[in-house]
Structure 1
């Protein structure tokens, strides 16, 4: 049952793509080339899902090739199927043997030519818009192998096109095994063509003799070949323009005009990965494209995302910039832990007066007096500094540096409490960097009157971002002072240039140093 659900989900996805790509549009009349076999029966149900949504008109046509002795069974099935599903049906007879002899062609080729011609004649006769055929993924792979063995150009290896003139092939991405399993679970009958088991025809030989050997080497070989077919189609669609080296910052990918000039982004991505000693496969490239790129092949520039490349390497998209990073297993486990549970390792350090603490690539110092700063502070190379003064009426009991937590808010002057997560997103801080950014928080005790005043005058009835706990000394308050060096609260004043020289000696300073920028 689980497999059926997966197939049904795949059907819904393909139905949506059919609509998005306008393979079928509203109020069209679709004629199904119906053999009564599993593929054409599955195709009917596929289109029937779209019928009410797009107000479609559907009919079926059966072509009698006059090659099999049991054709009457086929005709009976077609008529019964049409009656059970209240669908109009048409039957056309063709003389394949005569056509093959007169034109010196194989029965296989003669049947194909006459079949398409007959279906097209019926379409015109009844005034329908399109013909839908039941070609599936296995058929496409068979065509690829058939043409490869016969000798063909790259253009020939594109195999069965999804659209040709007024013919659409809507189930090309479904394997035969999926179709058979789905119909079995739905108790849907279909015709079994005994000639498919005969190996007189080249395609039958490929299907019955060659494919089983391929399966022994790789059970998923059909999907691998189909991925190659799709890549060939993509290359043909991309045009002949020569590909330059991949820009590691991916700035070009964010510009649609540049996209029009450089169409083969998959090639550029392959080159980028190879430059960084990453093993490349079509499946991996397709997965990256599905994850990192929009449908129009423009790199996503919102948020941050990463893709595991193997061998501890990750491809990261940080707001439209691609880079490859390497993480040890230890770091990977911690990152995964943090993504699932927030800052679950709860790193916390108390910031003592006139002392510095190291926090990843940050160095944070609290000075009780300006004079202490002047006598002991020394700037370090490759370190940028941000200076803050604590507002004069702050009487804190403790200041700590910690990792961020879910629900963190900071009280910003004139703006009120703001979510830390929203701030980090607005600042385009990638999600794997957020847990390493210092949150500086103060704790203080206030009496009931002070808290009431704070609530009425400052909070103005909004939801509380501070933490309050009753204690013997009064009410314990926690308030975030800064989110790294990118956002500070109303309890701090940012200092510029020579501002420190103008401060009174009793002023308290908070200094955040950051190595090599963010």
Structure 2
């Protein structure tokens, strides 16, 4: 018995040191065998490593005995001398209201609570008690649902501030540790009901695989997870090396240059679509091959075509493929209106407008610059700055043209069109920055010339 305990504690300590662990850790404890083993191991090294431990318990309100579990964990924290937090939520109600599965709703609320306590207590890490069998079940579940390489990674031992220090221990090792140390625990009876896919895999599929095919199936799937992690890391490093050459970030969107993308191999494009989808959606299950094909066909389509997958948009915008979260990147429009202008700085959400004194020489040298408007000072009080309106047009020497058509010609993204400042005098548009100018109200005298320039706060003009 002593040898086994030494082994468990030695391996646990090695894992903590591999994290470069800091002193303040939040332990997520449900009261089951896994989390009580983790709690006991952390407590064993608490003084040696000078750990500041806080325990939290999330009550899902999904079982009649959920309150019992909360009281049990609270009592154990008193035994270990650790600070305790708990929170009770109606997971079923939240999941129904937000059109989520019970598992998705529970996970969201649970980790939201963990993050709240971590912030309140100024902690460094959140530790959860996932084990090797949990990892194997997650990998198998994703295989059955259909997943890419990234989905095979399953549960990672460390991700940001989240650590899983007993992930290398099997369920059998944990049960043995519980038994040898006489550690109390509570059972979640739903773990023995095959109403969820994970439970069906644990209770029905794995026993068949272990008894008839591979008694160490959990180890095999754990190794597969590690291999997938290595492949995923290499592919992501290669995709990142293409930033600035093939793709770039702009305002929470990923922009991919279509003509350069077409020169890449089909295999690379498929991997890139999966990686960008998973990055935006935070969904490790990825997207199936049929959808990958639809996205790839999209790059040969005309502007405006798009595909929506789980709130992630893949959209053709002229010569670029845009990838973004629908909920974050819905068009943001800010109304603005300025009149009675003077030498000053005027600012909108996306642009700075600077009005300053100029001279005839500067006008002569820079009058073709689309980013600048030169007018005589006498027109300044009549000048107004506003948003675009329906039906706006510009007048030219030989006719007029709708502003909408000009934006299309200039390939200005729809997301920014209603935010570009429009300059008008006497209800006539005289300038659309970086785009077109009317021939009216230009400089008609050499004195009192002013210069107006519009600076984009980000590179927004064209996607």
TM-score by length of 2: 0.49
TM-score by length of 1: 0.44
